[in-house]
Amino acid sequence: MDGQAQFRPHQELGDLFKAVQVAPVFPDSKTFPDCVPRSAPAEILRAYAQEKDKPGFDLKAFVLRHFELPPTPGNDYQADTSQPVTDHIQALWPVLTRQPQQQKGSLLALPHAYVVPGGRFREIYYWDSYFTMLGLQESQQTQLIQNMVDNFAFLIETVGHIPNGNRTYYVSRSQPPFFALMLRVLAQQKGQQILSTYAPALEKEYAFWMDGAQNLTAQKPAFRRVVLLPDGNVLNRYWDDDPSPRPEAYKEDLEVARASGRNPEEVFRNIRAAAESGWDFSSRWFLDGKSLESIRTTELVPVDLNALLYHVEVLLADMAHLRQDKDQERAYRAKAEKRKKALLAYCWNPTEQFFFDYDFVRQKLSTHPTLAAVTPLFFCMATKAQARGVARKLERDFLRQGGLPATLVASGQQWDAPNGWAPLQWMSIQGLKAYGQNKLASTIAWNWVNQNLQVYKQTGKLTEKYNVEKPATQGGGGEYPNQDGFGWTNGVLLKLIKQQQRK
């Protein structure tokens, strides 16, 4: 990557960056980090130092003079709601596709075309892309799937892991490791042998998540993303290497840290770790179960992250099998089996008959039930009895007329009730089907599809999240308004509709 690729606005713009974000000059904190400087940052800073204390200095006018604003989210795409929603989704793929381009500002250039979620999300997002690919697969967009997989392999090679998104301000963290699942989709399209091509990339990503595992001790049981448990097993947590406010939510993070009364770096680290989880934000990560100020993401061993890494180990074993490397295959199968046993031991609550995150600091299970509990079913790790327990709780406590909420707590955060999200519906439905819970799976699928269709007929839009407790209602809460587009909603909806049509 060229020098411009490394433009990090929060570092290179110093006091100007802080002034713009704290003011705030723009209503959305993500706008300024996405701006492109019209000249070298050092020149802009010199001009700022000369002008800022002069009478009548206008910060916004200064920014508009020295920076090119990012494209505003396009809300002008008009859907013909008399057409089937499947036609609408097919028409949206080109709208959401971005071609490779020269490095601009904080955007990391990618070698191939890719699909963005939509709205304020003008770049790729790691875990979103897997669920988008499910729809691309139904649309026979095999080349675009290949392009996106190759982009992620490129990021692993150049950055060392897949960042949250292709922005310089995202590189200190990743997102839930779905690359292995993307490879499964590509292999379904192109044959199993193609998996071997991506073994080096997947091994490198796995090494990123497991960094430091060999050096953990009882005195230092956690390092970056690995955690040593009392019985000697190693599981994973979410983390971010940078304990500062997120550039794209700078003012918001400062305010949370101030209100918390805690060490600001500790708060920033936990906020960023929750951003790595994709669940930003949720009562799932809050010690008191209700307020962002009590966030403690890094103290939890998340059930979904460890189920995903189990699948990474299984796929690495499958790749070794394809190249007839029996030693490697045995080693990865042993790792996967060990992780599975540890996850079932630490994250299963036999009284509740449900999976929970494990609080390794307090050495006890979290008491906040969330839809992350479905991931051991999605990856076929759970026993039949455990799957029955999860299904019972989903039907009794989670099932709503529009699908499943992320949690049972209405905290005002977006990854809490009453919001439902496409990726969690998909994993719940597929996980239940894997254990023969077909009636409940069908009910969830029908409720979710119906909710999506009702909002589409009313608004002509497919949105990021939905309020599953009220008919025809979009989601809300969190740091920014509900976004239109929307990559993973389109992918999951198209997949579910096509599955129904094939029955």
> So which residues are the catalytic ones?
280, 464
Q: If residue 78 lies in a helix (H) or strand (E), which one and from where to where?
A: none
| Cα(302)–Cα(284) distance, integer angstroms | 10
Provide the greatest CA pair distance for the chain: 74
| Cα(241)–Cα(275) distance, integer angstroms | 12
Report the b/e string of 230-262 with b at 16+ CB within 10 A.
Answer: eeebbbbbbbbebbbbbbbbbebbbebbeebeb
SS (H, E, C) 171-197: CCCCCCCCHHHHHHHHHHHHCHHHHHH
Alpha helices in 198-323 (DSSP H): 199-210, 250-260, 264-277, 303-322
| Cα(280)–Cα(409) distance, integer angstroms | 15
Handedness of CA 154, 158, 164, 167 (dihedral sign): negative
Residue 439 bridge partners (DSSP): none
* Residue 462 tokens, joined: 């497919």
| Cα(472)–Cα(459) distance, integer angstroms | 10
For 83, 94, 189, 226, the CA distances from 97, given in Å and listed in that order, are 22, 5, 20, 35
174 burial (CB, 10 Å; 0-12 / 13-18 / 19+) is buried
29 within 8 A of 248, measured Cβ to Cβ: yes
- Give me the amino acid identity at 412: G
| Cα(351)–Cα(214) distance, integer angstroms | 34
Angle at 259 between CA 253 and CA 265, to 5 degrees: 50
118 burial (CB, 10 Å; 0-12 / 13-18 / 19+) is buried
| Cα(300)–Cα(364) distance, integer angstroms | 10
| Cα(258)–Cα(61) distance, integer angstroms | 29
* Residue 69 tokens, joined: 């604003």
Handedness of CA 257, 260, 264, 267 (dihedral sign): negative
Query: Tokens 């049972």 sit at which residue?
Result: 408
| Cα(310)–Cα(327) distance, integer angstroms | 18
> Residue 115 contacts by C-beta under 8 Å, 6 or more apart in sequence?
93, 96, 97, 98, 124, 129, 132, 136, 144, 148, 487
| Cα(98)–Cα(88) distance, integer angstroms | 18
